[in-house]
């Protein structure tokens, strides 16, 4: 891992300039500015090019997303429609709440990142904080726990054997009776401690169930997102939607003869709902939760919190008091999910469970030649060994990762297999060196992740070909058209 030249970087709060002036970041910016690329046919009056943007989920790896976005903006690229899951939803929200799409948004993202103490996002009990910190910061934590349990078993076995031996010998050696008594006292204390630990674990599991199976309530995270929104005058769902739809004066690149009619902004956060077992696209589906006159009861920060509800790490996010007897709400549930009797309470977990990289959201199969592309930022945290198709070589983490990814990527993969052209706009950020739940990143690690994103954006732009993208989309359109005849 690259070292920051400032040896004291971990001893102070980072600034926006720390990120922007980091040598690897500065080099990436210099390259994209010296090698401008045509990436879209939709421009504003200042010449900025517009794309739709989809950001993948990945916990703290979202720092790399910020670096990627920063370099895209330095290349003169702006964002029309935006979507994200989990960490991608956070970055998407911080971009969407800002006014004027023609202006750079990443300075605010970097400022929010530099001022945020990630450790405060872990807002559970002291034990929960200790457990999470141990799991993510100690690579051999589970092996240490295994060794501790084995040693405990061996210790109690030795004590029991010693107790029986001393009991047998005390008739011949009366003085050993004292030693036997001491051993039994130790055994009693041992089982007493084990009982206390057992009772504590049982109470923790009970509280875990009562708390929606999450060891962190997620209150700090919700309040933090809400504060960011309020600073930009976003108080209601309508405020967020109106801000996302704002579009500057646009025109089409010549020699194209079509227009920019119909192009509009949008914002989407993906969340997984467990009661009805459906994928929700928020805020557009918030009409399923409230009647129009009650929409003010919902704050859009809740949608980001729902998308970021990492199972077990965070408590589920609940939406309650759904007006299930309202005719309009019932009709909307029926038309959206074919649910005739909607539940009064919904329970949301991380959107990545169903769609961690919703690259399909802005794809229009009826368009032959797109006016602007969809760019996607993919966080790749798999190691070289775990990428192999030889299952015998996978690590335990790789095995569990493959199993989990088979579930959460299936929906997105089904789309990508039929629409590979969309991946022409996707750039990958290699982040295998980091644990996505390590909320205890050092400043140096944050800078490195940010730089990884910046470098990935530079590499992507270097290889992106807008004309080829349009040709492949046109070819895909003609192929679909011929198949339907």
What string of DSSP letters covers 60-129?
GGHHHHHHHHHHHHHTTEEEEEEEEETHHHHHHHHHHTSS-TTS--HHHHHHHHHH--GGGG--S-HHHH
Burial 45-84 (b: 16+ CB within 10 A, else e): eeebbbbbbbbbbbbbbbbbbbbbbbbbbbbbbbbbbbbb
| pLDDT for the residue 15 | 94
pTM (two decimals)? 0.84
| pLDDT for the residue 387 | 54
| pLDDT for the residue 261 | 95
| pLDDT for the residue 71 | 98
Output the CA–CA distances (angstroms, integers) from residue 450 to 113, 367, 406, in the order listed: 10, 35, 28
**pLDDT by residue, tens only, the chain of 485 residues:** 444 445 577 778 899 999 999 999 999 999 999 999 999 999 999 999 999 999 999 889 999 999 999 999 999 999 999 999 999 999 999 999 999 999 999 999 999 999 998 888 888 877 767 766 766 655 444 555 567 778 888 888 888 888 888 877 877 778 777 888 888 888 888 888 888 877 766 776 666 666 566 788 899 999 999 999 999 999 999 999 999 999 999 999 999 999 999 999 999 999 999 999 999 999 999 999 999 999 999 999 999 999 999 888 898 999 999 999 999 999 999 999 999 999 999 999 999 888 889 999 998 888 889 999 999 999 988 765 555 566 666 655 566 566 666 666 666 666 766 677 788 999 999 998 888 888 888 999 999 999 999 999 999 999 999 999 999 988 887 777 676 65
Whether the Cβ atoms of residue 166 and residue 183 lie closer than 8 Å to each other:
yes
């Amino acid at each position: 891992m690259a070292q920051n030249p400032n040896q004291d970087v971990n001893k102070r709060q980072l600034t926006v300039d720390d990120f922007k002036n980091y040598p690897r970041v500065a080099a990436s910016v210099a390259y994209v500015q010296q090698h401008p690329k045509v990436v879209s046919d939709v421009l504003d009056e200042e010449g900025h090019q517009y794309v739709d943007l989809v950001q993948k989920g990945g916990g703290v790896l979202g720092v790399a997303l910020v670096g990627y976005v920063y370099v895209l903006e330095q290349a003169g690229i702006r964002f029309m429609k935006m979507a994200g899951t989990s960490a991608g939803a956070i970055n998407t929200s911080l971009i969407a709440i800002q006014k004027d799409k023609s202006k750079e948004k990443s300075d605010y993202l970097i400022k929010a990142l530099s001022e945020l103490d990630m450790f405060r996002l872990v807002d559970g009990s002291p034990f929960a904080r200790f457990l999470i910190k141990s799991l993510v910061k100690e690579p051999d934590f589970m092996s240490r726990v295994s060794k501790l349990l084995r040693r405990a078993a061996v210790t109690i076995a030795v004590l029991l054997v010693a107790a029986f031996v001393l009991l047998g010998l005390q008739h011949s050696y009366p003085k050993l009776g004292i030693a036997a008594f001491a051993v039994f006292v130790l055994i009693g204390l041992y089982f007493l401690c084990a009982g206390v630990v057992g009772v504590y674990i049982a109470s923790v599991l009970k509280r875990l169930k009562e708390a929606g199976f999450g060891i962190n309530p997620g209150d700090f995270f919700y309040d933090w997102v809400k504060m960011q929104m309020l600073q930009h005058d976003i108080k209601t769902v309508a405020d967020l939607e109106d801000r996302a739809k704002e579009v500057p004066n646009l025109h089409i690149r010549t020699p194209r003869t079509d227009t920019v009619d119909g192009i509009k902004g949008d914002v989407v956060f993906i969340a997984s709902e467990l009661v009805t077992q459906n994928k929700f696209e928020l805020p557009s589906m918030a009409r399923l939760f409230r009647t129009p006159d009650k929409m003010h009861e919902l704050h859009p920060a809740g949608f980001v919190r729902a998308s970021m509800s990492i199972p077990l790490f965070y408590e589920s996010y609940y939406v309650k008091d759904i007006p299930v007897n309202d005719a309009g709400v019932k009709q909307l549930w029926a038309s959206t999910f074919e649910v005739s009797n909607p539940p009064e309470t919904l329970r949301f977990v991380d959107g990545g469970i169903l769609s961690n990289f919703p690259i399909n959201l802005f794809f229009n199969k009826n368009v032959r030649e797109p006016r602007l592309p969809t760019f996607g930022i993919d966080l790749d945290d798999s190691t070289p060994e775990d990428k192999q198709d030889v299952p015998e070589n996978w690590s335990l983490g790789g095995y569990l990762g493959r199993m989990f990814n088979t579930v959460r990527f299936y929906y997105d993969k089904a789309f990508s297999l039929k629409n590979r052209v969309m991946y022409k706009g996707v750039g990958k950020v290699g982040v295998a060196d980091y644990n996505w739940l390590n909320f205890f990143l050092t400043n140096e690690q944050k800078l490195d992740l940010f730089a990884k994103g910046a470098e990935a954006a530079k590499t992507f732009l270097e290889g992106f070909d807008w004309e080829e993208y349009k040709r492949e989309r046109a070819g895909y359109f003609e192929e679909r058209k011929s198949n339907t005849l």
